[in-house]
Every structure is written in C-alpha cells, then in structure tokens.
Amino acid sequence: KKVEKKLKELNKDINNTGGLEAKLKLAVGARVMLRCNVNVEKGLVNGALGTVQAISETRITVKFDRITDPCEIEKVKRKFMVMKNVFVYRSQFPLILAFAVTIHKCQGLSLDNAIIDLSENVFSAGMAYVALSRVRTLSGVHLTCFNPKSLMVSSCSIKEINRLRQLYRPDLPQYAIPTDCGNRKRTLTGTIDEPQAKNQKNMPPPKV
C-alpha cells in the first residue's frame, strides 16, 4: 500500500516517471508533444509538437509540425524509482496532450496565434518575454490575464545593457537596477495603455 500511494503521487508529474503517463488518453486530431528524443536527425526530439492522425495498439501516427511526412511513434520503456530499492518499469507511448503547453516548453516555437496567461503563474525573469515573442504578429497575441508584475527582468541583463550603453552609446540613459535580486518584485513598471487593452479584448479568437 505504501508503494502504491507513493506511485500515485509520482504519477501526478510525469517528470518523476521518465516522462511517461500512467494512462494516456488520446484521439485522432489531438495535439500532442513528444516527450523524448526518438530521432534527432529527423526532428523527432523532446518538445516536438504535432497532431494525431491514427492510433493502433502498437503505434501512434503523428503529423509533426516541422516534419513533412507523418511519423509512427512506438512505445518506449523507462525505469524509475518509487522509493528506496523499489523500481517501476513502464512501457508507454512518449506523448502527452499539448493543446496547451508551459512557457518553458514553448521555447523555440514560432506561432501564428497563442492564448497566453501572464498572471501570477509567471515566476522567473524573462518568462513573459519568451511567451510573447513566440507569436509572429501582435494580432496573434491573446492575453487571458495580465499582471504587470509578470514582466520580471534580470538584474544581470540590465547591468550588461547599461555597461554596453556606457561604452558605445553614452548618450542613452541608464536603466535603474533592481536591488531585490532573486525576489519576485523585479518587474517592469509599464502597463498596457487603456486603448490597447480594449483593442486586445475586441480581437477575434485565434484559429485552432
């Protein structure tokens, strides 16, 4: 019972289980993400996004966004520790649902549309920038929530910008350096102007 309880806790986060779900619920047309490197040269790498085209007991056919031809994904086997001297071997398709992804997982993507949550869930400097810069155009950005404190900046980055400005562009002003390094209060003070906020609300929803 103790092992079962611990395994149930581990299953809440697939990072604890070799990137494999205990139960994988998929359907044709579902958006998915690959959770391990299958073929790096081909582009089948951890984080690759695609759409399910077919499902069988032994393989799942996925059309990945950056690969021309559909790919067949087979099960992989992973070993992970539940507790001391207790291990589990799991065989599963290395896929997860990806209708939504974390900011960290979307790094490197270029999107036409994105619904972005910039609320209190942003916890690291530069995260808001990464999320916003994934979208090709401003009209493709749709904010479900915006907290100015989510626009956190790195003190080290500001120091470097100031150093370069002083060296090459002394005519430009220096940025104020936050004194609370490592604190969540390192934010930019600017907010969205009211007209821009209204336009944001009136924008049509992204095409799925």
Distance CA 128, CA 152 (A): 8
Kindly report which listed range (7-11, 22-26, 100-104, 120-124) carries the lowest average pLDDT score.
120-124
Burial of residue 141 (CB within 10 Å: 0-12, 13-18, 19+) is buried
Tens of pLDDT, residue by residue over 45-66, are: 988 999 999 999 999 999 999 8
Q: DSSP letters along 102-133, please?
A: -TTTTTT--BS-EEEEESTT--STTHHHHHHT
Quote the tokens at residue 80: 């992970």
3-state helix, strand, coil in the chain (%, to 5): 25, 25, 50
Distance CA 127, CA 107 (A): 10
- The verdict on pTM exceeding 0.75 is no
Nearest to 50 by CA among 29, 21, 25: 29
Nearest to 51 by CA among 30, 25, 66: 30
Write out the H or E segment, with its range, that includes residue 202: helix 194-202
Total Cβ atoms within 10 A of residue 71: 20
pLDDT at residue 196, rounded to an integer: 43
Phi and psi angles of residue 139, each rounded to the nearest 5 degrees, phi first: -65, -20
Beta bridge partners of 81: 87
Q: How confident is the model at residue 204 (pLDDT cuts 50, 70, 90)?
A: low
Q: How confident is the model at residue 150 (pLDDT cuts 50, 70, 90)?
A: confident
Locate the domains of the chain by residue range.
Answer: 2-97
Quote the tokens at residue 95: 């896929």
- Asked if residue 172 has pLDDT above 90, the reply is yes
